[in-house]
Amino acid sequence: MPNEPYDVIVVGGGTAGVIAAVQAGRVGARTLLIEKNGLLGGTVTAAGVSYPGRFHGRGRQVVAGIGWELVTRCVAEAGAALPDCTTDTGSMGPQIRINVPLYAALCDEMCLDAGVALWLHTMPAAVGRADGLWRPSVCTKTGLCEVQGKTLIDCTGDANVVTLAGFEVVRPETVQPGTLSCRLSGYDANALDYDALDAAFAAEVAAGRLAHGDGGWNAEAPQVRRFLRTRGDNANHILGIRAEDSAGRTAMELAGRRALLRVYRWLRTQPGLENLRIDWVAPEAGVRETVVIAGETTITERDYIAGRVWDDSLCYAMYGIDMHTDDGAGVHGWPPEEGKVPTVPRGALLPVGSENLLVAGRCVSSDRVANSALRVEGSCLAMGQAAGAVAALAARNDIAVGAVPMADIRDLLTEHGAVVP
C-alpha cells in the first residue's frame, strides 16, 4: 500500500461515497475509496433498499449527474425501462427499481474506470492530521495501515470519521427505527385473510409474544398485512436502536434477525402461510438515523420545506419529510411547499472547526425533521457528487474546501451532468 499522499480519501463506499470518489477520480484527483463491506453501494446493495429516489420534482429533473448515470446504466443493463419519473407527487414517488448485483458491479466498474483505488473490507481506526495532510489509520484484514490525503470525505453515514477526528456531532435523544429487508415466498398474497391475520398479530403483540415492529410500523393498530403484501420489502421496524458504533450496530443486527425469526415462526402457524419461506435477507439492516455533524450551516425543517436556496447551495434534494417512529402510526410525512425544491449548502457538509474535511450523505448537518428527507438515496447521490467536486478542486489548487470559489464548483458539477441550484 503506497505512502504517496492521495488528493482525496473517501471513507464509506455507500450511496454517497461511490459518487464522491467517481467525481474526484474523473477530474484527475488521485482518489482512494475505503469500504467496510465486500461490495459497494451501501443501502442500495447491503441493506436491500433498491429503489433510489427521487431524481425529479415539480415536473423536472433536479438530481442528475453521476448518480443518475449509475442508476440509468443499471436499468439499461437489466433490460428494464424507467418509469415516468416526471409524475409530480410532491413527496416520495415514483422510484426506480434496481437490480442489486448489477448495481454493485457497476459501482466497481465506474470507480475503476475513474482511476479510483478501492480498499474493501477496510474501516477507519483513527484519524489524525499533520503537515497539512490527513493521516487516517485504517484497519485492514492484516492489520493497521496509515494513509495520507489532502482532503478527506466522510461518507460513513454515521459521521465515524468526523467523530474520530474529534469534531462535534449531534446525537438526538431518540432515533428512527431501522429495518431489515427480506424476501418471502411460499404463499399466495392475494388469497390471505388480512383482517384475520392482523387481528391475530395484534393479539400476539398485546400478549408480549411479538412486537408491533416485527410485522409493520403501526404501534396503535399492529398489522402484518404490509409485511406480507410486500413480501418483506422494507416493511418492518427494528425498535429502540442506536447504531452509530459497532456495539449499537451489533445490537441492531441481532434484534432485526431475532424479530424476523420470531414473526416467521408465528406466521407459519397461520392459515395460508404453512409453507412460508424466507428466500433472502439483506446482509445488514437499513439505518435511517444515527448522528449528524455540527456543521457550519444547519438545514432546518423550515429551510427544507420552503426550498431555501443559500449562496453556497450545491445540489437539490427532492423528497418528502419521512419520519419513522417507534410509536403511533409509525411514520409521518409531508411534502415541501408547493413549487419548492429543497437545496443543500456547502456549509452543511463542513464540520465546524475542521480543515479540508467534508461529509456527504445521511450525517449532513440538519435537524431531525429535515434529515428524515435528506437521508434518502437520491439526495445522498447528489451530495456525494458535490463533495467529490469540492474536495478535488481544493486538492488541485491547494486551498481549503471552504475557500473553493462557488463558480468553479458549479462549473465542474455542471460539466459532469449535475443539476446545480
Q: Above 70 in pLDDT, residue 140?
A: yes
Q: Above 80 in pLDDT, residue 2?
A: no
**Mean pLDDT of the 207-219 span:** 97
User: What is d(CA 311, CA 93) in angstroms, rounded to the nearest whole number?
Assistant: 29
Pairing type for strands 56-57 and 60-61 reads antiparallel
As beta bridge partners, residue 357 has: 152
How many whole angstroms from its chain centre is CA 283?
Answer: 15
Q: Above 80 in pLDDT, residue 92?
A: no
Within 8 A by CB and 6+ apart from 354, the residues are: 162, 165, 167
User: What is d(CA 293, CA 171) in angstroms, rounded to the nearest whole number?
Assistant: 9
Q: Read off the pLDDT band of 84 (50, 70, 90).
A: confident
In the numeric block, which cell numbers belong to residue 5? 499522499
Q: Read off the pLDDT band of 85 (50, 70, 90).
A: confident
Whether residue 124 has a cis bond before it, omega within 30° of 0: no
Within 8 A by CB and 6+ apart from 109, the residues are: none
Q: What is the pLDDT of residue 94?
A: 77
Long-range interactions of 195-200: CB distance < 8 A, separation 24+:
196/271, 197/224, 197/225, 197/228, 197/270, 198/222, 198/223, 198/224, 198/225, 200/270
- In order of 75, 121, 355, the CA distances from 153 in angstroms are 28, 18, 11
User: What is d(CA 180, CA 201) in angstroms, rounded to the nearest whole number?
Assistant: 19
Whether residue 54 has a cis bond before it, omega within 30° of 0: yes
How many of the other CB atoms lie within 10 Å of CB of 298?
20
Backbone angles phi, psi at 312, to 5 degrees: -110, 25
Question: 474523473: which residue's cell?
Answer: 26
Q: What is the pLDDT of residue 390?
A: 98
For 336-354, write each residue's pLDDT tens digit.
Answer: 999 999 999 999 999 999 9
For 242-271, write each residue's pLDDT tens digit.
Answer: 999 999 999 999 999 999 999 999 999 999
Packing angle, helices 377-397 and 406-415, rounded to 10? 120
Q: What is the pLDDT of residue 1?
A: 47
- Amino acid letter for position 133: L
User: What is d(CA 327, CA 41) in angstroms, rounded to the nearest whole number?
Assistant: 31
Within 8 A by CB and 6+ apart from 208, the residues are: none
- CB 365, CB 297: distance < 8 Å: yes
Pairing type for strands 123-130 and 117-119 reads unpaired
Percent of the chain with pLDDT over 90: 95
Q: Domains in the chain, ordered, with CATH? A: 6-173+289-321+334-415 (3.50.50.60), 182-281 (no CATH)
Nearest to 241 by CA among 224, 230, 254: 254
Q: What is the pLDDT of residue 88?
A: 62
| Single pTM value for the model | 0.97
Q: Read off the pLDDT band of 82 (50, 70, 90).
A: very high
How many of the other CB atoms lie within 10 Å of CB of 3?
8
